[in-house]
Amino acid sequence: DAKTTQPNSMESNEEEPVHLPCNHSTISGTDYIHWYRQLPSQGPEYVIHGLTSNVNNRMASLAIAEDRKSSTLILHRATLRDAAVYYCILKSGYSTLTFGKGTMLLVSP
């Protein structure tokens, strides 16, 4: 499985934008980049995914580098509720999700 590298933790202030990086230098042409997050004491929840172009939804934006070797999850205005572990996962076809340790995002009021 292609692997991803994420910082162990990041900090942000409430109402500020947050940029969560993910490196995936061995990504293949068929790998989609998926992001899930896990709030405390809950199961993971889907955030966003993309292949080549930048993607936006109501939760976040996903910026994908032109060479696809890195991507950034953007939370436009962090809230206390966004404090969670964020997982960047590469997934191809019907392969399963392989979670790493993710990035723990701490949000201060």
Partner 1 sequence: EAGVAQSPRYKIIEKRQSVAFWCNPISGHATLYWYQQILGQGPKLLIQFQNNGVVDDSQLPKDRFSAERLKGVDSTLKIQPAKLEDSAVYLCASSPWATDTQYFGPGTRLTVL
* Binding-site ranges for partner 1 (CB under 8 A): 32, 34, 41-46, 49, 85, 87, 91, 96-102
Quote the radius of gyration of the chain (alpha carbons, Å): 13
| In the complex, least distance from residue 1 CB atom to partner 1, rounded to whole angstroms | 11
**Terminal CA-to-CA distance of the chain, rounded, Å?**
38
d(CA 32, CA 84): 22
For partner 1, the closer CB: 67 or 94: 94
The residue written with tokens 């202030």 in the block is 13
How far is Cα 50 from Cα 61, in angstroms, rounded to an integer? 10
State in angstroms the smallest separation of the CB of 103 from partner 1.
11
Q: Least distance in Å: CB of 75 to partner 1?
A: 19
- In the numeric block, which tokens belong to residue 93? 């076809």
Closer CB to partner 1, residue 1 or residue 16? 1
- Comparing CB distances to partner 1, the nearer of 49 and 68 is 49
